[in-house]
């Protein structure tokens, strides 16, 4: 619990657009920004349960914050944060593919988007028990390492087939263009 409190305090003391906005609202309303943040989180939570467009809001939360910090990580000298955000995007990608196949059923559950948002926040949280680290190290990485050579072969084959398709398509397009030019010259 102390780690959550520290994370909460660190977030509120960080300088960014969102905390600057909370500071301005705090000055105008005299309501502490920690209370404003709690109220905002509660409002978003309720909206994710009953609101129209909860899928959009949930995907917005799962994408915007990580994208912002991914860009900051790329621009920083430290490469540990790059790895952290790369792992998040790998887990996010796996989640999106899994969700694609189960979304039709999961949409019917009333707390689905709230649960999804909590899951994504857990995956992006800057804490030691970060969800993406746990899922990557406990599930994705072992499977990848076990099947890495098979996956490399499959990717190589797909790359070769894509090149063959590109070459064949290019040749056929040139033939079609030449035939079109020849046909239009005869019609003239």
Parse the chain into domains and list their residue ranges: 1-50, 53-187
pLDDT for position 40: 80
Residue 50 and residue 108: Cα distance in Å, rounded? 12
Q: What is the pLDDT along the chain (188 residues), one digit of tens a residue?
A: 666 666 666 666 777 666 777 788 888 888 888 888 788 888 888 878 887 888 888 888 899 889 988 999 999 988 888 889 999 999 999 999 988 888 777 777 878 889 989 999 999 987 778 899 999 999 999 999 999 999 999 999 998 998 999 889 888 888 888 877 666 666 66
Predicted model pTM: 0.70
Cα–Cα–Cα angle for 63, 131, 40, nearest 5°? 55
> Quick count: other Cβ atoms within 10 Å of Cβ 106?
13
User: What is the residue-wise DSSP string for 116-177?
Assistant: HHHHHHHHH--STT-HHHHHIIIIIHHHHHHHHHHHHHHHHHHHHHHHHHHHHHHHHHHHHH
**pLDDT tens column, 141-167:** 999 999 999 999 999 999 899 899 988
């Amino acid at each position: 619990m102390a780690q959550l409190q520290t994370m909460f305090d660190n977030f509120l003391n960080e300088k960014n657009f969102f905390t600057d906005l909370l500071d301005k609202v705090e000055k105008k309303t005299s309501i502490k920004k920690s209370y404003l943040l709690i109220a905002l989180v509660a409002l978003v939570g309720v909206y994710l349960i009953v609101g129209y467009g909860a899928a959009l809001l949930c995907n917005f939360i799962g994408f915007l914050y990580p994208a912002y910090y991914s860009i900051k990580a790329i621009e920083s000298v430290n490469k540990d944060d790059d790895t952290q955000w790369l792992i998040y995007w790998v887990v996010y990608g796996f989640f999106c593919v899994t969700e694609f196949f189960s979304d039709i059923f999961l949409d019917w559950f009333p707390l689905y988007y709230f649960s999804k948002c909590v899951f994504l926040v857990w995956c992006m949280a800057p804490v030691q028990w970060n969800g993406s680290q746990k899922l990557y190290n406990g599930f994705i990485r072992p499977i990848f390492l076990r099947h890495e050579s098979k996956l490399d072969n499959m990717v190589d084959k797909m790359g070769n087939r894509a090149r063959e398709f590109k070459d064949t398509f290019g040749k056929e397009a040139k033939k079609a263009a030449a035939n079109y030019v020849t046909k239009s010259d005869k019609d003239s």
